[in-house]
A and B are shown apart, each in its own frame.
Chain A
Amino acid sequence: DTAVSQTPKYLVTQMGNDKSIKCEQNLGHDTMYWYKQDSKKFLKIMFSYNNKELIINETVPNRFSPKSPDKAHLNLHINSLELGDSAVYFCASSHTSGGADTQYFGPGTRLTVL
């Protein structure tokens, strides 16, 4: 009965590789997010989708490409991984867009780029 789930939980890869992280929510929410948490625990939004449409795209390198095949799924594909991409990536969802709704976070994916 997990609300927001992410796979994989851990991802270790070499520089230059391409990898994907998957997220699914079973809360029936319209809005989903990707956040990046760096080694100092700083949490910053990367993307937000509402009903499969991109509504927030922060200044993220275009090596990062989100895809939302349906309301319940939001995936993150990263091309040509760099050392600085190492972080914990959190998926989240909320009932509506706009930001003033409770956001439910997944357990995170710890990405390590060697």
Chain B
Amino acid sequence: GENVEQHPSTLSVQEGDSAVIKCTYSDSASNYFPWYKQELGKGPQLIIDIRSNVGEKKDQRIAVTLNKTAKHFSLHITETQPEDSAVYFCASLGFQKLVFGTGTRLLVSP
């Protein structure tokens, strides 16, 4: 089945810096890659997703890139703010289900 690895497990940045989280997946047939943000005490919330027919997608300060050949995808957050502090999960679509990465705890210090 699908396996998703996510790095780093924790990431500390200063406000205004950029943050990059990377994931790799195993199933070459996977064609949908969402990113979810989980704030403390809440459920995960979709922040951006990308499908396999595009290599990059951007939404304001958030961007996602996909390299299907290498089976890598990454989340880029620019101009980080303290409210970006949360746990971020990548995911890959296996057979009818999302397989999540192990999560990255992002801490943005003022």
Residues from chain B with Cβ under 8 Å of A83 in the complex: none
From B43, B51, B89, A92 is in contact (CB under 8 Å) with B43
Contact between chains at A100 and B93 (CB < 8 Å): yes
Size range of the interface on A? 20 to 34
Question: Does A114 sit within 8 A of B, measured CB to CB?
Answer: no
Question: Does B96 sit within 8 A of A, measured CB to CB?
Answer: yes
Given A41-B87, A99-B32, A102-B49, A4 contacting B43 (CB threshold 8 A): yes
Contact between chains at B43 and A106 (CB < 8 Å): yes
How many interface residues does B have (CB within 8 Å)?
A: 23
Residues from chain A with Cβ under 8 Å of B34 in the complex: 102-103
When each residue 27-67 of chain B gets 1 if its CB lies under 8 Å from chain A and 0 otherwise, what string results?
A: 00001101010100111111001010000000000000000
Contact between chains at A55 and B96 (CB < 8 Å): yes
When each residue 88-107 of chain A gets 1 if its CB lies under 8 Å from chain B and 0 otherwise, what string results?
A: 00101000011110111111
> What residue in chain A is nearest B31 (Cβ atoms)?
A100
CA distance A106 to B102 in the complex (A): 20
Count the A-B residue pairs with Cβ separation under 8 angstroms: how many? 55
CA distance A114 to B96 in the complex (A): 35
Looking at chain A's contact residues, the main secondary structure is loop
Given A102-B34, A102-B49, A56 contacting B44 (CB threshold 8 A): no
Residues from chain B with Cβ under 8 Å of A42 in the complex: 100, 102-103
Question: Does A48 sit within 8 A of B, measured CB to CB?
Answer: yes
From B32, B42, B102, A100 is in contact (CB under 8 Å) with B32
CA distance A4 to B43 in the complex (A): 10
Contact between chains at B98 and A45 (CB < 8 Å): yes
B66 → chain A closest CB, angstroms: 14
Residues of A within 8 A of B (CB): 4, 40-45, 48, 55-56, 58, 90, 92, 97-100, 102-108
Q: List 8 interface pairs A-B (beta carbons < 8 Å), by A numbering.
A: A42-B103, A56-B96, A99-B96, A102-B49, A103-B98, A106-B43, A107-B42, A108-B42
